[in-house]
């Protein structure tokens, strides 16, 4: 019996999100460092985008314009 068989896994076995092979403990949830790096590269390139809410975009536009000018008396 190997040491891995004696240990109860903390996480369920899942397929690698990149290639579908079984995930490896040291690279979870990926199967290898290669698949992990591919995913990281996609994040760094901006291929994955988390959309913002519409109200946040409106607030950002308002702050870029600055305060309204005051009337001079």
Query: Could you tell me which of 35, 33, 31 has the C-alpha nearest to residue 23?
Result: 31
Is residue 14 a known part of a binding site? Answer: no
Is residue 8 a known part of a binding site? Answer: no
Is residue 31 a known part of a binding site? Answer: yes
The region that residue 9 occupies, defined by phi over 0 for left and psi between -120 and 50 for alpha, beta otherwise, is beta
Is residue 35 a known part of a binding site? Answer: yes
Q: List residues forming the annotated binding site for Zn(2+).
A: 16, 19, 31, 35
Q: List residues forming the annotated binding site.
A: 16, 19, 31, 35
């Amino acid at each position: 019996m190997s040491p891995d068989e004696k240990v109860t896994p903390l996480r369920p076995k899942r397929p690698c999100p990149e290639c579908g092979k079984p995930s490896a403990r040291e690279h979870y949830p990926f199967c290898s460092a290669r698949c992990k790096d591919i995913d990281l590269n996609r994040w760094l390139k901006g291929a994955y985008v988390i959309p913002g809410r519409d109200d946040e975009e409106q607030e950002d536009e308002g702050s870029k314009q600055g305060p309204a000018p005051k009337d001079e008396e």
